[in-house]
Structure 1
């Protein structure tokens, strides 16, 4: 496709219930992010979680967390010979993982174009 041609828009066919669920979830996540950012900015001490707690919060295992760290999706700091993760970095990683999960789900939905 050359630059002068505009791409044909693709549409996803999704049920009303699923669409409402996606909108509600997106709204709640956005509000939670704003609240968490406010709490982090008001704290006089940085908030850190251990690798075990990060895995518990995100619902992933140690290997997945290590892969995220190696791909530099999250930074770790060493404290008393264990990795510690900033709560704000944890929030960003959570958002990235949820976005990827949503993109995988959307890629499996039937698509059609209108010409």
Structure 2
């Protein structure tokens, strides 16, 4: 089976209220349990805000580090799930479930050579 990265993008700005986050977290944990039961779950995790990022670049023999996200934008990677799926349609189905729970866009990409 192939592995797919399901990347959840969240807008910059304040985090939702605690009651909203609690509902989302609970629903995502239930979905992760369903993914595990189906043998599709590989790994998942949420990320701190994009402002906590450090970008490392190699240039002219030096390694340069800059604070902040790689790109300036209004959305950044907020979390991800890696799933095993027999095909793209199945991976898209899992991504759709995540999008429904979070109300955020989810990008789906297959891993190279992960079959």
Give the TM-score, by structure 2 length: 0.32
Per chain length, whose mean CA-contact separation is higher, i.e. which structure has more relative contact order (CA < 8 Å, sep 6+)?
A: 2
**Structure whose alpha-carbon radius of gyration is higher:** 1
Give the TM-score, by structure 1 length: 0.32
